[in-house]
Every structure is written in C-alpha cells, then in structure tokens.
C-alpha cells in the first residue's frame, strides 16, 4: 500500500528508507487519558495505534527514540504530565523495557541516546514542557534532530499543527510517514477522492462554525448529507422551526439556509431530524419526551434525535457504500440522550460498506461502545481529521519527503 496524495504528492513511508542500526526518532501521539484516581491510563487506543510502526522498526533493528506531547503544560514542567505511565504501558504491550529520558533535548538526553543498542527503545519526556515546541522554534527542532539519523511522523492527530516536532524537524532530517499516518491518509483520501458510491456523510456535533469547511468540501463529493446534533438546531431554526432553548448560532442561520439551497442545486439529498428528544433542562436527569420538529416546546432543549429520525437516517445509510461520520447526533455524554448516537454506531458496525469515523467525540463514542474493530477506520485525530475532510493540506504531512524525490 502506498500513501495517497497530500498536496498532490505521494509521500515516502518508513518502508522506503534504511533503518537497520539507525537512530530513528518517531513522533507519536501518546496524549492518552489518565484515570484521575489511580493515575493509570484509562484508554490506550493511541498507543496501540502506533504498534505496527514500532514493531516494524524493532524487527529491523533500529535504535528507536519516541517523542510525544502529553496534556497542556503551557511550556512548563508539570509533574502530573510526565510520560512515565505511557512508558510503563508501552513496555507491557511490546514485551520489552522502555527507557524514559529526563527531558526531550539536551546533553543528558544525547548521552542516553548514544547508549542505545539495536532494538532498544527510549521515550523522550513531554515535548510541551518546552514552549519552543509549539512555537516551531528552529533551535528546538535542531536539538531534536541531533538525537537521530532519520525522522518518522506517525502522529496523525498532530499533523495539522506546525510545531517543531511535526514540521520544523523535517528541515534537518530525512522525514517519512509511519504506518498509522499512511493508513489515515490512504483511507480518508480514497473516501474523498475515489469512493465506492453512493457516499453519505453523517455530520453532527455542536457548531456549524467548527465544520463549515467540512460541509462545503463534502457537498461536492457526497450523494447524501445527514445533519443532526447541536448544529442540527441551527439548520432547523434557519428553516423556521422552533428549537426551544437549544443553543443556536444566530450568525450562521444565513449560512445554514445557503447550505440547504446548495445541496438542492447539487442534487445532494440533505436529511435533517424529523423528530427529536427534548428535555426540560440541559441535565442528564431532566424530564424528557419525544416530539416532531414542529412541536418543540418553548423553554425546552433538543438533546437527541428521535426514533423516526433514526429510521430515516438508517434507511439512507443502508443504501450507502461509503459513509463518513463526524460528530455525535445527540448529547451522548448523558446516557439518557445517547440513543441516537448508539443506534447509528451499531448500524454502521454491521453494514457492508466503507465506514470512516472522524476523531474526537465520534471516536470516543465508538470506542465506548466497543465497536472500533467493526468499522473500516476510526481516525486517531480530531482536529486533523476535520482539516483533512475540509480538503486542507496538513503541515505535518506536507513536510514529509515526496516519493518521487
């Protein structure tokens, strides 16, 4: 499998370079959640996602150096944001000791790297303990580059960021994609550029403003567009339906109306909720009921799609051969209002179709339902997958070497 085009150029992957005996610095995304009570990792999906790249490099006798950010330390050392829990979990997953450096740059780290033997693994300390990381500081990028002979980016979740460890370092080392990066770009790229039709996009989440680019880009590529979640209320209000006290982007009503009209012009079948579950308060225990969209009571909140909408959405999705889903269709954080999201997730898991789940909240929902293995692809990047679906070039991918070079 070869990586698809990003910025019209195919990128080299880890298989295109010699790694035996080389010091290979791999940018990974180990920004995993911790249980606040135990301090243990509560979800190691992001660690498992890069195991194919790690195992390939170890099998090929590379000297492996891993680097990642963790949390938002704002350029300062925060004890609770050290990467030691990650080193422990990774060691258990690969069955090998994983060393952890006291920092990510500097003489002590360079000394630790010099002691690495073929097949050894060293995890650098949190990149974001240094403010220069997020500023894409050339000096910081050079300090990272001094640690290695080759650079591999396998952190799709940060590929939309122009940071020193995702973009700057590529100016100083041969830079290629890891297998996770390759998979993300290949699968989502094919869904956008060369999909099996019919193609449906299911778009939810809170705000239209977060997904204007996605909606516009997909409008040119899909056969059906299904819209729900918080942003669905803005569309409904633009079409003169009452949505009670639901959050609405008043300054985006014109845009919502325009998108409805554009869908009609393009021949894209646009579906909005036909009925909704409403609650007296925005609360997990609030009194609730199901009403048609013409009957949302004043003062109530739209919290989920109703059974009729689930039926309509399911009927359209069953006829689709490629489905892109980004954003929950209700307040899935509240179990009482997660039925729509759960129903559609279970439907997609059983379809004979290419099913692509955007990162962020949508991926969280699918993971909670233990349906990840039932989908064609669940993206590891929230912001990155959004930018990709907008058709934008990701800086962290653009910085990698072109295959033809």
What number of other Cβ atoms are within 10 A of residue 261's Cβ?
A: 11
Using the predicted structure, report yes or no on whether residue 112 has a pLDDT greater than 80. Answer: yes
Cα three-residue angle 323-153-149, rounded to 5 degrees: 160
Using the predicted structure, report yes or no on whether residue 7 has a pLDDT greater than 70. Answer: no
What range defines the domain where residue 151 resides?
Answer: 5-183
Q: CA 171 to CA 162: how far, in whole Å?
A: 13
Look up 383 and say whether it is catalytic: yes
Q: CA 159 to CA 41: how far, in whole Å?
A: 23
Query: Which two structure tokens, joined as six digits, stand for 168?
Result: 């700057």
| Res. 37 pLDDT band, cuts 50 70 90 | confident
- Per-residue 3-state assignment (H helix, E strand, C coil) for 46-65: HHHHCHHHHHHHHHCCCEEE
Q: pLDDT at position 167, please?
A: 98
Among 159, 183, 207, identify where a domain stops. Answer: 183
Q: pLDDT at position 341, please?
A: 97
On whether residue 400 sits in a domain, the answer given is no
Q: pLDDT at position 104, please?
A: 98
Look up 254 and say whether it is catalytic: no
37: buried, middle or exposed (CB in 10 Å: 19+, 13-18, 0-12)? Answer: exposed
On whether residue 384 sits in a domain, the answer given is yes
Using the predicted structure, report yes or no on whether residue 141 has a pLDDT greater than 50. Answer: yes
The answer on 201 and 177 residing in a single domain is no
The answer on 168 and 293 residing in a single domain is no
Query: Do 350 and 374 meet the contact criterion of CB atoms below 8 Å apart?
Result: yes
What number of other Cβ atoms are within 10 A of residue 366's Cβ?
A: 23
The answer on 272 and 164 residing in a single domain is no
Query: Which two structure tokens, joined as six digits, stand for 195?
Result: 């999909």
Closest CA to 359 of 227, 169, 232, 180: 180
**Catalytic position from the list 61, 383, 391, 403:** 383
Residues 6+ apart with CB under 8 A from 193: 4, 5
Query: Do 325 and 364 meet the contact criterion of CB atoms below 8 Å apart?
Result: no
> What CATH number does residue 174 fall under?
3.40.50.1260
- Mean pLDDT, rounded, of the chain: 94
| Res. 8 pLDDT band, cuts 50 70 90 | very low
Closest CA to 303 of 244, 349, 343, 260: 244
Using the predicted structure, report yes or no on whether residue 177 has a pLDDT greater than 90. Answer: yes
Using the predicted structure, report yes or no on whether residue 381 has a pLDDT greater than 90. Answer: no
Beta 5-6 vs 9-10: how paired, if at all? Answer: antiparallel
Summarize pLDDT for 191-241 with one digit per residue, the tens.
988 999 999 999 998 888 888 888 999 999 999 999 999 999 999 999 999
DSSP helix/strand/coil, 340: helix
Query: Do 372 and 45 meet the contact criterion of CB atoms below 8 Å apart?
Result: yes
- Percentage of the chain beyond pLDDT 90 is 85
Lowest-confidence segment of 33-42, 147-156, 192-201, 271-280 by average pLDDT: 33-42
Q: pLDDT at position 405, please?
A: 58
Using the predicted structure, report yes or no on whether residue 247 has a pLDDT greater than 80. Answer: yes
On whether residue 262 sits in a domain, the answer given is yes
Number of C-alpha atoms within 13 angstroms, CB side, residue 261?
A: 8
What are the beta bridge partners of residue 23?
63
Query: Which two structure tokens, joined as six digits, stand for 253?
Result: 């009503």
Q: CA 334 to CA 98: how far, in whole Å?
A: 38
The answer on 158 and 99 residing in a single domain is yes
Taking residues 261-277, what's their average pLDDT? 96
On whether residue 41 sits in a domain, the answer given is yes
What are the beta bridge partners of residue 283?
none
Among 162, 183, 204, identify where a domain stops. Answer: 183
The answer on 98 and 42 residing in a single domain is yes
DSSP helix/strand/coil, 368: helix
Q: pLDDT at position 39, please?
A: 82
Report the number of distinct structural domains present in the chain: 2
Query: Do 159 and 167 meet the contact criterion of CB atoms below 8 Å apart?
Result: no
**Catalytic position from the list 46, 161, 211, 339:** 46
Using the predicted structure, report yes or no on whether residue 4 has a pLDDT greater than 50. Answer: no
Buried b (16+ CB within 10 A) or exposed e, 84-99: ebbbebbbeebeeebb
Look up 207 and say whether it is catalytic: yes
Q: CA 304 to CA 88: how far, in whole Å?
A: 40
- Helices then strands, counting H and E runs in the chain, come out as 15, 17
* Sign of the dihedral through C-alpha 53, 58, 97, 26: negative
On whether residue 399 sits in a domain, the answer given is no
Cα three-residue angle 154-158-163, rounded to 5 degrees: 105
On whether residue 92 sits in a domain, the answer given is yes
Q: CA 153 to CA 400: how far, in whole Å?
A: 8
Q: What does the DSSP assignment read for 255-294?
A: HHHHHHHHHHHHT-EEE--SEEEEESSSSTTS-EEEEEGG
On whether residue 189 sits in a domain, the answer given is no
The answer on 165 and 253 residing in a single domain is no
**Catalytic position from the list 9, 88, 146, 207:** 207
Taking residues 20-26, what's their average pLDDT? 98
Task: Describe the strand order of the beta sheet including 63-67 as a list of residue ranges.
Answer: 99-100, 121-123, 63-67, 23-27, 150-153, 175-177
Q: pLDDT at position 143, please?
A: 98
Q: pLDDT at position 323, please?
A: 97
The answer on 230 and 146 residing in a single domain is no
Summarize pLDDT for 298-348 with one digit per residue, the tens.
999 999 999 999 999 999 999 999 999 999 999 999 999 999 999 999 999
Taking residues 19-39, what's their average pLDDT? 93
On whether residue 396 sits in a domain, the answer given is no
The answer on 179 and 203 residing in a single domain is no
Summarize pLDDT for 52-84 with one digit per residue, the tens.
999 999 999 999 999 999 999 999 999 999 999
**Catalytic position from the list 157, 327, 358, 360:** 360
């Amino acid at each position: 499998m070869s990586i698809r085009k990003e910025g019209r150029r195919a990128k080299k992957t880890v298989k295109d370079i010699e790694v035996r005996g080389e010091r290979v610095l791999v940018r990974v995304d180990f920004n995993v959640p911790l249980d606040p009570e135990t301090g243990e990792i509560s979800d190691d999906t992001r660690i498992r996602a890069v195991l194919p790249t790690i195992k390939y490099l170890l099998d090929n006798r590379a000297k492996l150096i891993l680097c990642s950010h963790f949390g938002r330390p704002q350029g300062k050392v925060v004890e609770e944001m050290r990467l030691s829990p990650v080193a422990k979990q990774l060691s258990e997953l690969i069955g090998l000791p994983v060393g952890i450096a006291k920092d990510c740059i500097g003489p002590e780290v360079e000394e630790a790297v010099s002691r690495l033997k073929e097949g050894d693994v060293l995890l650098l300390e949190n990149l974001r303990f240094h403010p220069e990381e997020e500023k894409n500081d050339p000096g910081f990028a050079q300090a990272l580059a001094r640690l290695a002979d080759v650079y591999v980016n396998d952190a799709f979740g940060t590929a939309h960021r122009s940071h020193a460890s995702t973009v700057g370092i590529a100016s100083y080392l041969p830079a290629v994609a890891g297998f996770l990066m390759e998979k993300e770009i290949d699968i989502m790229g094919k869904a956008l550029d060369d999909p099996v039709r019919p193609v449906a996009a299911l778009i939810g989440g809170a705000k239209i403003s977060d997904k204007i680019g996605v909606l516009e880009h997909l409008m040119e590529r899909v056969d059906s567009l299904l819209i729900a979640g918080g942003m669905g209320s803005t569309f409904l209000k633009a079409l003169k339906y009452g949505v009670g006290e639901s959050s609405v982007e008043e300054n985006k009503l014109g845009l919502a109306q325009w998108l409805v009209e554009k869908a009609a012009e393009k021949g894209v079948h646009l579906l909005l909720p036909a009925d909704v579950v409403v609650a007296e308060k925005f609360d997990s225990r609030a009194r609730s009921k199901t009403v048609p969209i013409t009957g949302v009571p004043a003062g109530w909140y739209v919290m989920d799609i109703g059974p009729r909408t689930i039926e309509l959405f399911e009927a359209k999705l069953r006829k689709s051969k490629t489905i892109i889903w980004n954003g929950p269709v209700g307040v899935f954080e509240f179990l009482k209002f997660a039925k729509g999201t759960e129903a559609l997730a279970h439907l997609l898991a059983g379809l004979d179709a290419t099913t692509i789940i955007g990162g962020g909240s949508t991926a969280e929902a699918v993971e909670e339902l233990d349906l990840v293995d039932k989908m064609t692809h669940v993206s590891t990047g929230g912001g990155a997958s959004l930018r990709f679906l907008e058709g934008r070039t990701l800086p962290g991918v653009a910085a990698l070497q072109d295959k033809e070079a």
